[in-house]
Amino acid sequence: MGTGSRKRILVLGGGFAGMFAARELQRRVGRVAEIELINEVNYFTFQPLLPEVAAGSISVRDAVAPLRRLLPGVRVRQAQIYAIDLERRIVTIFQGLQRRYTEVSYDHLVLALGQTVDLSRIPGLAAHALTMKTLSDALTLRNAVIDKLEHADITALPEVKKELLTFTVIGGGFSGVETAGEMKELIDRSLVFYPNIDRSEVRVLLVEFADRLLGELPASLGEYTRRSFEKRGIEVRLRTGIREATGTAIETTDGELIGTRTLVATIGNAPSPLVARLALPNERGRLRADRTLRVEGHDNVWALGDAALIPLVETPSERSHYAPPTAQFAVREARTLAKNIAAALDGRPGAPFVYKSKGALTSLGARRGVAEVYGLRLSGLPAWLLWRGYYLSFVPGFATRMRVAAQWLLDSMVGRSTVQTGMRQGPGTRYVRYRAGDRVFEEGNRADGFYAVVEGAFELRFRDADGSETLRRIGPGGHFGERVLLGEGLRTGTVRAIEDSVVLVVGAEDFGRLTKALPALRAHFEHGVATGLIASDLEDAIERQVRLDEG
């Protein structure tokens, strides 16, 4: 694969860190070395613009740019990374639709794998919260918001309407603030099309565990943001965490139960599982690099960006002594990295990474922003214009930059569209969490899936042919819903969670296909249906029924 004696530099990851690293490397050593970048998608995502994509103020293709176009001369592979072998200097990947493993060799390895989101620490959050990391996340959020407005416009149930019109963002950092601001704008602009929704019924909630918003900016700007949000009708809850989430509510650490059917989590940054698995020194999931961006103890392994812990001083002793995980730093790190790899190829020593932030800025939506640049604090329209200008200068590629500018201009003149992008995803299976007491189904409901109990317990109440009512308890391993999917389309009973519970839901169409393709499975369920049995474990179910009947 290598071209004779040309050294191979392999960059893993195509975010700000990886993309700029490959770019700088190509500029510096592209003539003497082969640069290759491997990423899961073939485009670079301009993450700070994702909330604007969600709100529809810029279009999808203006928030992304093809890696190949951004990186002329660099070999770009769209592939999943499966394993890294530091001994053999080999990365194992899966490419495209292929089923075979492919091995890619390197002389120098650059780890720019960023971070992932881990919501598993709060029950129900992984199952019910949307995130804001990828293009797909942004589109999913837009569809979710519009779905809720559509539904709220026509529902006859006041409680449901309230839940539908409560939109919650968890996390008051840059991403959470931008998401809340843009989401509020999207809703405000859309309401004109929903005659049955009154502005006063909509509630946008921003929940932050710390005592202020935008922890990376001066306190005065965090406070400005809070006040600006409150004025625009965005409720800010500080010193508040989330204890549990379901499809219809969250419970805060104060014990308050808030009905909400749209939940965006901008918290839970976690190391890439690949980085965590590597036998490389790491601290809180970030790879320990030295000041030249080399991973400690390895001459030919480098790290930068969110995945790396890079000291800014000789003997770091506090958090501020490390480079923060921001795009601004990642781009500067990329330059140092390229210089140092060039030096390493020449047998020269590398130079330490030195950079002082020029400031930070963010949009609050509705033509307001906050910024601190060169020690100067700005807020409102000036900060917002600065933000737009700054990011426009950043958008890679002339064509895309022109498009974004044109769209922003159009957007300021004419309304934006409230349309869904039509990519309704029907995942095969999904987990759903219920709190004790939550009703899953009522009589007359449509059968929308098969429910397998993973955790907790449910009570099934139905009327037999002779009119007598039967009560049944269904615990882990048990299931419900197959009765109606295999027979009649309408529920014949009521199902309620009697403990905090988790179910795995299989969509009606997938369930139908599965039982058709697997006669054994069908027979298993039909047996249950015929005898009136729902739980899979016969004796256990009977025993439980007896207990319930007695109780």
- Chain positions 67 to 86 lying near a copy of itself, rule: CB under 8 A, are 68-69, 75-79
Distance of closest approach, residue 339 Cβ to a copy of itself, in angstroms: 27
Distance of closest approach, residue 539 Cβ to a copy of itself, in angstroms: 13
State which of residues 212, 479, 483, 544 lies at the interface with a copy of itself (CB under 8 A): 479
Distance of closest approach, residue 349 Cβ to a copy of itself, in angstroms: 35
Q: Write out the binding residues for a copy of itself, residues 323-362 only, by CB under 8 A.
A: none
φ and ψ at 121, to 5 degrees?
A: -75, -20
The CA distance from 328 to 240, in Å, is 29
Distance of closest approach, residue 536 Cβ to a copy of itself, in angstroms: 4
Distance of closest approach, residue 135 Cβ to a copy of itself, in angstroms: 4
Strands (E), 456-529: 458-463, 469-474, 479-480, 493-497, 501-507
Query: Which among 18-26, 89-97, 180-188, 295-303 is the span making contact with a copy of itself, rule CB under 8 A?
Result: 89-97
Please give the helix or strand (H or E) that residue 145 lies within, else none.
helix 135-154
Query: Which among 118-126, 318-326, 330-338, 427-435 is the span making contact with a copy of itself, rule CB under 8 A?
Result: 427-435
Residue 114's Cβ-count burial label (10 Å; 0-12, 13-18, 19+) is buried
State which of residues 105, 134, 328, 357 lies at the interface with a copy of itself (CB under 8 A): 134
φ and ψ at 130, to 5 degrees?
A: -85, 160
State which of residues 477, 542, 546, 547 lies at the interface with a copy of itself (CB under 8 A): 477
Per-residue tokens: 178: 């931008």
224 forms part of the interface with a copy of itself (CB under 8 A): no
Classify the phi-psi angles of 359: left when phi > 0, otherwise alpha if psi is within -120 to 50, otherwise beta: left
Angle between helices 508-517 and 519-530 (to 10 degrees): 110
For the window 29-58, what string marks contact with a copy of itself as x by the rule CB under 8 A? ------------xxx-x----------x--
442-455 burial: b if 16+ Cβ within 10 Å, else e: eeebebebbbbbeb
Query: Which among 63-71, 178-186, 305-313, 461-469 is the span making contact with a copy of itself, rule CB under 8 A?
Result: 63-71
3-state DSSP assignment of residue 91? strand
Identity of the residue numbered 500 = D
For the window 233-272, what string marks contact with a copy of itself as x by the rule CB under 8 A? ----------------------------x-----------
Nearer to a copy of itself, 232 or 524 (CB): 524
Query: Which among 178-186, 283-291, 387-395, 419-427 is the span making contact with a copy of itself, rule CB under 8 A?
Result: 419-427
494 forms part of the interface with a copy of itself (CB under 8 A): no
3-state DSSP assignment of residue 164? helix
Identity of the residue numbered 408 = W
Per-residue tokens: 88: 């053999």
State which of residues 136, 326, 470, 494 lies at the interface with a copy of itself (CB under 8 A): 136
Distance of closest approach, residue 31 Cβ to a copy of itself, in angstroms: 17
Question: Taking Cα atoms as reference points, which of 229, 231, 258, 226 lies closest to residue 242?
Answer: 258
State which of residues 504, 529, 533, 548 lies at the interface with a copy of itself (CB under 8 A): 504
The CA distance from 135 to 128, in Å, is 18
If you ran DSSP here, which 8-state letter would residue 288 be given? E
The CA distance from 542 to 529, in Å, is 15
Nearer to a copy of itself, 194 or 229 (CB): 194
Please give the helix or strand (H or E) that residue 283 lies within, else none.
strand 282-283
The CA distance from 386 to 59, in Å, is 21
State which of residues 507, 529, 533, 548 lies at the interface with a copy of itself (CB under 8 A): 507
Distance of closest approach, residue 101 Cβ to a copy of itself, in angstroms: 7
542 forms part of the interface with a copy of itself (CB under 8 A): no
State which of residues 317, 424, 530, 539 lies at the interface with a copy of itself (CB under 8 A): 424
Query: Which among 223-231, 249-257, 283-291, 407-415 is the span making contact with a copy of itself, rule CB under 8 A?
Result: 407-415
For the window 441-470, what string marks contact with a copy of itself as x by the rule CB under 8 A? x--xxx-x---xxx----------------
Q: Write out the binding residues for a copy of itself, residues 178-217 only, by CB under 8 A.
A: 193-195
Whose tokens are 């529902």? That residue is 155
State which of residues 4, 96, 467, 551 lies at the interface with a copy of itself (CB under 8 A): 96
The CA distance from 542 to 548, in Å, is 10
Distance of closest approach, residue 84 Cβ to a copy of itself, in angstroms: 17
536 forms part of the interface with a copy of itself (CB under 8 A): yes
Nearer to a copy of itself, 329 or 451 (CB): 451
Helices (H), 430-499: 482-486
Using CB under 8 A, count the residues that bind a copy of itself. 93
The CA distance from 141 to 129, in Å, is 10
Nearer to a copy of itself, 348 or 516 (CB): 516
The CA distance from 154 to 225, in Å, is 34
Please give the helix or strand (H or E) that residue 319 lies within, else none.
none
279 forms part of the interface with a copy of itself (CB under 8 A): no
Nearer to a copy of itself, 423 or 530 (CB): 423
State which of residues 422, 465, 539, 550 lies at the interface with a copy of itself (CB under 8 A): 422
Per-residue tokens: 292: 């030249």
Contacts of 35 (CB under 8 A, 6+ apart): 9, 11, 22, 25, 26, 29, 73, 74, 75
Per-residue tokens: 215: 């922890």
For the window 138-167, what string marks contact with a copy of itself as x by the rule CB under 8 A? -x------xx--xx--xx----x-------
